[in-house]
């Protein structure tokens, strides 16, 4: 009989603790919503303009992806293929070597070569 009473008390305490945790979690969630906390790991937004004045906005990777997708010759090809081909084309036009190790260096190199303008 004593074991049953102890079990009931333990079950009741566990239910109360669970309710308190749920309440606390809900309170934290509502506070975070009220503060308008930005999503984690959000990359900064950038904007570039092509020579033709076409704007592209987003992270560096998103911008290169949009540039690739805007060029129908690169449908189904990788971003690395796009950057390498465009870097060769840029070199033939300007004589400036454009790096292709990542999207940011590609865009910055293209801007240095005068093929793009980084707005932000």
Q: Other C-beta atoms within 10 Å of 81: how many?
A: 13
Q: Identify the band that residue 22 occupies on the pLDDT scale cut at 50, 70 and 90.
A: low
Q: Which of 1-15, 40-54, 82-96 has the highest mean pLDDT?
A: 82-96
Whether residue 50 is found in the same domain as residue 32: no
**How far is 61 from 92, CA to CA, in rounded Å?**
24
Whether residue 106 is found in the same domain as residue 76: yes
Task: Please say if the pLDDT value at position 57 is more than 60.
Answer: yes
By residue range, what is the domain housing residue 2? 1-37
Whether residue 53 is found in the same domain as residue 108: yes
Whether residue 90 is found in the same domain as residue 57: yes
Q: Are strands 116-118 and 55-58 parallel, antiparallel or unpaired?
A: unpaired
Whether residue 91 is found in the same domain as residue 61: yes
**How far is 50 from 21, CA to CA, in rounded Å?**
53
Whether residue 55 is found in the same domain as residue 98: yes
Q: Are strands 46-50 and 55-58 parallel, antiparallel or unpaired?
A: antiparallel
Distances (CA, A) of 68 to 58, 71, 102, 103, 115: 14, 5, 14, 12, 15
pTM for this model (two decimals): 0.62
**How far is 101 from 107, CA to CA, in rounded Å?**
11
Mean pLDDT of the chain: 82
pLDDT score, position 4: 78
Whether residue 71 is found in the same domain as residue 114: yes
Number of domains in the chain: 2
């Amino acid at each position: 009989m004593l074991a049953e009473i102890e079990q009931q008390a333990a079950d009741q305490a566990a239910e109360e603790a669970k309710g308190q945790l749920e309440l606390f979690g809900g309170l934290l969630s509502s506070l975070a919503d009220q503060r308008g906390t930005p999503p984690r790991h959000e990359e900064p937004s950038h904007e570039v303009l092509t020579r033709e004045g076409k704007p592209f906005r987003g992270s560096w990777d998103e911008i290169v992806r949009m540039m690739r997708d805007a060029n129908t010759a690169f449908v189904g090809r990788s971003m690395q293929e796009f950057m390498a081909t465009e870097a060769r084309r840029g070199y033939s036009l300007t004589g400036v070597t454009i790096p292709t190790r990542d999207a940011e260096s590609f865009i910055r190199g293209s801007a240095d070569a005068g093929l793009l303008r980084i707005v932000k």
